[in-house]
Structure 1
Amino acid sequence: MTWYLVESLDLPTAPMSIVAKEGDHREWSGIRRFKRDEGVDLLDLLIQVRRHATPISQTITGAKGPRLVEAIPIVGVDGDVYGIHVWVGETEPSTPPRPAAAIRWNSGELQVQQQLESWMMSTDDADGFKRVRSPGEFFRKVVRFDKAPELIQIATKPVAGHTFDATITVLHDRGHLMCWQIAARTRDDEHSGMRALTHDITDVSPPEIGPLETLGLTAEPDPDAPAAALLAFPPDSDRAIIALWVTKAPSWVDWLREGDIELIHPDDQRELARTTTILAPDLPGHDQHGEIITQARIRAHTETGWQPVSITSRRYPGPAGERLHIIRICKIDQAESGSPPK
């Protein structure tokens, strides 16, 4: 008697996969495994759920006798079924499925789109729901995410059929830590970008956190202290975006706006883009630990709406560094910036 999580993130005609069984990862197993493990063939039933986005509950008699099957769709913002909770057992489930939700990262608009179910996985505040969020805001509650650069890379430069599976540690608004599984798949059709399922598996996989993350949760940061972030340069856009705050986002930065990713002043984007060339590893005399400082303006809670800053950029190690930099942001006053904010 088992809850499964099936992903249907690819094209409607593409095969579906099992990504979790009772909260344990299942490495994108084919759904034919149901027949081997549970004695029932669920292919037609799951295709019907995927096509109509409606739940199905029925008894199926298979090789191991009658089995009650419940299939509950997980629907994305576009109305497509991104995943399916599947129960197979001799009786009705004694517990509900683990929380899971659908998200979409649109590479063209550089936005993360979500349903209310996704929002409510880490909060009790339904009134504060935002359907569209910047990547930096979406990941604001993430305490530990070791594979973040890989996810950012494939989401901003999608290659059809690329899959991603990882666990992250997330802080709930109530103050407890959670362990989530992220199962994602890229698309390069009219839905260019990445689709994903977030799956709360805290009950079987305790959240991991190290001393640095613990310090970040307990320390009260200086509001004027430098902040660290990952800055992504999507190949099909002229806008660099803060994809993930490594430290807590400074309180003076005005970054919590629904669907608005214009955190860096448009007139400063060109200078930041030049850093990808200056820090390129194929340049003569390149220092892999080299840094470059760029003056820019960041949207802030000021009279003008912008705060002059210095952005110290370093190329992220490995191939991801082509489109990803580690940056340090420091406030500077108007006199130092050399030009008034606009």
Structure 2
Amino acid sequence: MGKWHLIETLAEGVATLVASGDEAKGLVSIRRNVSPAVDILIEPIVEHVRQTREPFDRVLRSKKVNQSWRFYAWPVIGPFGDVHGVHLWIGDPDESIPQRRLTSGVYWSTTEWLIHQTWESGAMSGSRLEDWVPTALSSDYINRAIKFDKEQEFLEITLTPKPDMVLSTWFSVRHDDGHAMQWQAVLRPTPDCTGVRILYHDFSDVYQPSMPSLAEMGLQEGLEGSNVHIALFEAQRGSVVLWIGRAPEWLSWQYAHLNGPFVHPEDLPQLQAIGQRVNNGEPPQTAGVVRLQGFDGEWVKSSVIVRPFQLKDRPPHAELTLVQITPAADQG
């Protein structure tokens, strides 16, 4: 009986096995783990699909074992036309090919602080075609996550990428219709480290979505009850990189790069200056009342406290801090 294999091709000259049938794989060799016979090489098939960006469908025969298989390969194309992965089915020539699992490729820009996405990546989480946009903020994506593993490694590869980095991890993601999904994700930086290519794979039919621990849930509920919200903040652009816990429902922070600035332009220099002082070793400081984007064009007066954010090898082009946000009316 045939089965699907998912191969990541996020870096030039690299092709490793991500999943085989109903089993996740840890970036292992495709030569030793995919080919049904020693005289049938998988690498040329993968490279052909990577170069042509077209499906591959052919019956190949092994002289060693005197048997034939059908090889059907489908490219997972990213937002800039490069192939982030290859879905490869190998089975009997007369066998019907089952449906592939949902996959997509996105590109995380470390200079623009934007995620470039394909229609397929939006559709995986339920976005309708009329609501899809080609770019999103990291906070737009991460806020969908119910839980994601290897948080520190994820932040390091997306905020301080190095050419030899690679990360295979899991996300439990909230679908627009309310159910949870379990996504496998593989990330590799580009050679110049100006971006990170990502391959997403919906493995929900096999792996149960992971849920926050009791401690994590308690932290989120406690912050929500006090109306305190904490975010990783990039002061240079005045944007939220990710929310730690739940995002505030009283602020319009999603797609701020399209809908207008998150921080009032007159208040941003103050946050930038405080962030720089905190990052230079000064203790946490209050920014006082800052106007943040609300709904219907309204600015919401908010109390903001700026705290240092510790990350090994901080990116030189970013002023990253932690900000604690509460409605100004709650202060006093």
Task: With the length of structure 1 as denominator, give the TM-score of the two structures.
Answer: 0.80
Residue in structure 1 matched with residue 255 of structure 2 by the alignment: 257
- Aligned Cα root-mean-square deviation (Å): 3.2
Aligned counterpart in structure 2 of residue 110 of structure 1, from 110, 113, 117: 113
| Aligned CA distance change for structure 1 residues 188 and 156 (closer, same or farther; 3 Å) | farther
Task: State the AA in 1 paired with 2:70.
Answer: L
Task: State the AA in 2 paired with 1:29.
Answer: V
Q: CA offsets per residue over residues 167-192 of structure 1, 9 Å max, x none? A: 01111122211110110110143x82
Residue in structure 1 matched with residue 69 of structure 2 by the alignment: 67
2:158 is the counterpart of 1:155? yes
| Offset at residue 319 of structure 1 (A) | 2.6
| Offset at residue 37 of structure 1 (A) | 5.5
Residue in structure 1 matched with residue 88 of structure 2 by the alignment: 86
Q: Is the 8 A contact 2:256 2:262 kept in 1?
A: no
Q: Is the 8 A contact 2:102 2:124 kept in 1?
A: yes
| Aligned CA distance change for structure 1 residues 126 and 215 (closer, same or farther; 3 Å) | farther
| Offset at residue 8 of structure 1 (A) | 1.2
Q: Is the 8 A contact 1:144 1:169 kept in 2?
A: yes
Matched positions, count: 319
Q: Which piece of structure 1 moves more, 167-176 or 245-254?
A: 245-254
Aligned counterpart in structure 2 of residue 330 of structure 1, from 321, 326, 331: 326
Q: Which piece of structure 1 moves more, 77-86 or 34-43?
A: 34-43
Q: Which piece of structure 1 moves more, 54-63 or 149-158?
A: 149-158
Q: Is there any run of 5+ residues in structure 2 with no aligned partner, and where?
A: none
Residue in structure 2 matched with residue 172 of structure 1 by the alignment: 175
CA distance in 1, matches of 2:37, 2:270: 58
Aligned counterpart in structure 1 of residue 98 of structure 2, from 95, 100, 112: 95
Alignment of 1:12-27 (within 5 A): 14-27=13-26
| Aligned CA distance change for structure 1 residues 4 and 109 (closer, same or farther; 3 Å) | same
Residue in structure 2 matched with residue 8 of structure 1 by the alignment: 9
Task: With the length of structure 2 as denominator, give the TM-score of the two structures.
Answer: 0.83
CA distance in 2, matches of 1:269, 1:147: 32
Residue in structure 2 matched with residue 125 of structure 1 by the alignment: 128
| Offset at residue 72 of structure 1 (A) | 0.2
Q: Is the 8 A contact 2:116 2:136 kept in 1?
A: yes
CA distance in 2, matches of 1:35, 1:100: 19
| Offset at residue 277 of structure 1 (A) | 4.9
CA distance in 2, matches of 1:146, 1:326: 20
Q: CA offsets per residue over residues 209-264 of structure 1, 9 Å max, x none? A: 13466679999x67x9222222246xxxx325312223333233222337438323
| Offset at residue 66 of structure 1 (A) | 1.3
Q: Is the 8 A contact 1:170 1:178 kept in 2?
A: yes
Q: CA offsets per residue over residues 26-50 of structure 1, 9 Å max, x none? A: 2222332256665431111111110
| Aligned CA distance change for structure 1 residues 55 and 42 (closer, same or farther; 3 Å) | same
CA distance in 2, matches of 1:66, 1:142: 43
Q: Secondary structure at the match of 1:272?
A: helix
CA distance in 2, matches of 1:243, 1:23: 33
| Aligned CA distance change for structure 1 residues 320 and 201 (closer, same or farther; 3 Å) | farther
Alignment of 1:196-211 (within 5 A): 196-209=198-211, 210-211=213-214
Q: Is the 8 A contact 1:157 1:193 kept in 2?
A: no
Q: Is there any run of 5+ residues in structure 1 with no aligned partner, and where?
A: 337-342
- Percent sequence identity over aligned pairs: 24
Task: State the AA in 1 paired with 2:87.
Answer: H
| Aligned CA distance change for structure 1 residues 36 and 68 (closer, same or farther; 3 Å) | closer
Residue in structure 1 matched with residue 300 of structure 2 by the alignment: 307
| Aligned CA distance change for structure 1 residues 325 and 148 (closer, same or farther; 3 Å) | farther
